[in-house]
Amino acid sequence: MKTVLLFRHGQTPWNAQRRYIGSTDQSLSPEGRAALAGRAAPPVDRLYVSPLRRCRETAELLYPGMVQQVVEDLRECGFGSFEGHTYKELKDDPAYRRWLDSAGEIPPPGGEGKAESRERSLRAFLSLVEDPGSAALVIHGGTIMTLMEALEDSREFYRWQVGNGEGLRCQWDGRQLIYLGRV
């Protein structure tokens, strides 16, 4: 059994405004930095991060000075034309309604669908859990929900929503993630 911690990055300006933020490379907001300042994360042997700044900055705050291994395929899904917009701004858009009604299976215009995001994230996760020792992944809320839905027994997506800077403690048994609690 291997300990795996899944952290969502800290708050960005768009998170605070409840805007879709997938591929946009924003830094943490001052409030996001302050919420993570001085926080002690459980020690791990390896630290994996999404390539986006908000994850790399969060990892530096949680694990100062630890080597970050950037994993391109752990990035958030791309929201295409919905990127940077809020629900209120999009709620009357027929393409947005179709995307919501499909639970993300239909890709947003110019964006990535759930199946594509799942395949990419799973491939990345399964390659890195082959490394020895415990691991922390500083990634995105959508990526965490995708991995947990695919690899945890409940097979639920929205059950695994985590707030900015929050995380899940799991065990990897070689075939599934076993949820142990919040970090």
**Structural domain includes residue 106:** no
Domain count, the chain: 1
> What positions carry a catalytic annotation?
9, 76
Mean pLDDT within 9-18: 98
Kindly tell me if the per-residue pLDDT of 169 is higher than 90: yes
**Structural domain includes residue 86:** no
Which tens digits make up the pLDDT trace of 77-117? 999 999 999 999 999 999 999 999 999 999 999 999 999 99
* Cβ-contact 168, 42 below 8 angstroms: no
**Structural domain includes residue 89:** no
Backbone angles phi, psi at 144, to 5 degrees: -60, -50
**Structural domain includes residue 96:** no
**Structural domain includes residue 67:** yes
**Structural domain includes residue 66:** yes
> Could you tell me if residue 174 is left (phi over 0), alpha (psi between -120 and 50 degrees) or otherwise beta?
left
E strand intervals along 9-149: 46-49, 69-70, 135-139
Tell me, yes or no, if the pTM score tops 0.75.
Answer: yes
**Residue 70 structure tokens:** 């950037």
Rounded Cα–Cα distance for residues 171 and 69 (Å): 20
Q: Which domain holds residue 154?
A: 2-80+116-182
Looking at every residue in the chain, the average pLDDT score rounds to 97
* Cβ-contact 141, 148 below 8 angstroms: no
| Domain harbouring 128, CATH code | 3.40.50.1240
**Structural domain includes residue 87:** no
